[in-house]
């Protein structure tokens, strides 16, 4: 049966032809032959010229995401080719390891799909109705690529509410112990935050650990303790792991044990904003501080409030740093650009009364590729800063 046809308003195709895959309802002039939300549609410009094909859902304002700009069927073969291409990119780039991101949504030509690999397990996360309806094709592609593994579904509940589908969340499987550089981490596929581990920080964890030897470490918003484990393995004297979630601290405790570092670590449950102030009042000092908070906003209209939150925690962290100490600070709020984040940290340093030098700008691991034409595919930004001296 011929696919439905989505006709764009005049000029609306400019962004698509420049490489961005998103179409909003306000850009649609007409929809012909449409039958079911989540179906693939053929996208035409106002003059009737073919632009591409994508899944259409009238419910959200972002109603269509292009899957292809070629005149090809969106079927099982399409998903097999895309998954294999994603794997080949990572193989050729030396990114195949115990745990890595196999598919990163738009960046791998599969908008609305995330697949993370932990040992023999693929954890698949559908973020759009179209991908949810194509799940059988996706799972078949993964099983063909990894015939000896298994597929775990862990659809995103927030996205499911927006898109209008019932998320599939398989019961968490057995723990898989994966190796990341010099560390071992226990992961329960489908359990905890995201798909089980924050893989976007894998390269940063190893990089930050190079500055940990002989130092006291504060790992704020620690989740499963990845930064602290790497730091302790690299020779840190002691680490304080802070998180508001008791479940997260349970994961961190397990990972400390796996790395033989439990006797050099303290775990504290509490609100990071409060605990950072308490540590400052108590005169605590650290040679390495890591700030890796959850997103402070997912909305463009809440950037100002998010900026205040980022400034507050960075101000406190800089005051906790001993001279010569290092701060690794991050934002995963994609509306907070790298330029804005640097401005926030600059203002925090000014209010803290300290001088800092920028050692390095940081981003997401390379298995989370960024498309130049899709700035939304870059969401993690960070700075590696060194406290130079007290301001005079």
Cα 337 from Cα 370, distance rounded (Å):
14
Residue 195, pLDDT > 80, answer: no
Residues β-bridged to residue 20: none
Cα 105 from Cα 111, distance rounded (Å):
4
Q: Is 347 helix (H, G, I), strand (E, B) or coil?
A: helix
Cα 265 from Cα 241, distance rounded (Å):
7
Q: What pLDDT score does 17 carry?
A: 95
Which of 34-48, 147-161, 193-207 is predicted least confidently?
193-207
State the DSSP code for 337: -
Distances (CA, A) of 35 to 1, 40, 131, 295: 11, 10, 17, 37
CA-closest candidate to residue 131, choices 117, 116, 110, 151: 110
- Which run of H or of E encompasses 317? helix 303-320
CATH of 198-390, one of 3.30.450.40, 3.40.50.300, 3.40.1190.10, 3.40.50.150: 3.40.50.150
Domains in the chain: boundaries: 4-68, 76-163, 198-390
| Average of per-residue pLDDT values in the chain | 94
Our measurement of the distance from residue 370's CA atom to the centroid of its chain's CA atoms, rounded to an integer in Å, reads 12
pTM for this entry:
0.93
The answer to whether 332 is a known catalytic residue is yes
Confidence grade of residue 3 (pLDDT, cut at 50, 70, 90): confident
The active-site residue, picked from 103, 122, 183, 332, is 332
Residue 392, pLDDT > 60, answer: no
What CATH architecture applies to the domain 76-163?
2-Layer Sandwich (3.30)
Which of 34-38, 79-83, 222-226 is predicted least confidently?
34-38
Per-residue pLDDT, averaged over 103-129, amounts to 97
Contact at 8 Å (CB) between 205 and 184? Answer: no
Q: For residue range 365-378, list pLDDT tens digits in order.
A: 999 999 999 999 99
Q: What pLDDT score does 173 carry?
A: 84
Residue 192, pLDDT > 70, answer: no
CATH superfamily entry for domain 4-68: PUA domain (2.30.130.10)
Q: What percent of the chain has pLDDT over 70?
A: 97
Residue 391, pLDDT > 70, answer: no
Distances (CA, A) of 54 to 22, 80, 106, 263, 290: 9, 16, 12, 53, 40
């Amino acid at each position: 049966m011929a696919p439905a046809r989505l006709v764009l308003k005049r000029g609306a195709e400019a962004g698509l032809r420049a490489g961005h895959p998103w179409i909003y309802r306000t850009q649609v002039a007409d929809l012909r032959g449409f039958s079911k939300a989540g179906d693939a549609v053929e996208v035409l410009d106002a003059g009737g010229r073919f632009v591409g094909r994508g899944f259409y859902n009238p419910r959200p304002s972002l109603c269509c995401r292009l899957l292809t700009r070629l005149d090809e069927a969106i079927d099982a073969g399409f998903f097999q080719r895309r998954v294999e291409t994603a794997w080949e990119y990572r193989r050729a780039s030396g990114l195949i390891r115990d745990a890595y991101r196999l598919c990163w949504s738009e960046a791998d030509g599969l908008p609305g799909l995330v697949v993370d690999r932990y040992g023999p397990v693929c954890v698949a996360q559908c973020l759009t109705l179209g991908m949810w309806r194509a799940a059988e094709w996706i799972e078949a592609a993964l099983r063909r690529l990894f015939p000896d593994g298994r597929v775990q579904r862990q659809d995103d509940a927030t996205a499911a509410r927006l898109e209008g589908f019932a998320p599939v969340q398989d019961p968490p499987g057995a723990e898989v112990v994966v190796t990341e550089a010099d560390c071992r981490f226990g992961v329960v596929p489908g359990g905890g935050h995201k798909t089980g581990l924050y893989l976007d920080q894998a390269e940063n964890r190893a990089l930050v650990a190079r500055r940990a030897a002989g130092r006291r470490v504060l790992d704020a918003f620690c989740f499963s303790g990845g930064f602290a484990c790497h730091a302790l393995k690299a020779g840190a004297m002691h680490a304080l792991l802070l998180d508001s979630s008791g479940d997260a601290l349970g994961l961190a405790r397990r990972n400390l044990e796996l790395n033989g570092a439990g006797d050099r670590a303290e775990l504290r449950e509490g609100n990071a904003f409060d605990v950072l102030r308490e540590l400052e009042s108590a005169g605590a000092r650290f040679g390495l501080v890591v700030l890796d908070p959850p997103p402070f906003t997912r909305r463009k209209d809440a950037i100002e409030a998010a900026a205040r939150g980022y400034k507050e925690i960075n101000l406190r962290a800089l005051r906790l740093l001993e001279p010569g100490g290092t701060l690794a600070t991050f934002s995963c709020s994609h509306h907070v650009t790298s330029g804005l984040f640097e401005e926030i940290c600059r203002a925090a340093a000014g209010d803290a009364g300290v001088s800092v030098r920028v050692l390095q700008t940081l981003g997401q691991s390379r298995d989370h590729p960024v498309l130049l034409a899709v700035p939304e595919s870059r969401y993690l930004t960070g700075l590696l800063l060194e406290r130079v001296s007290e301001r005079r």
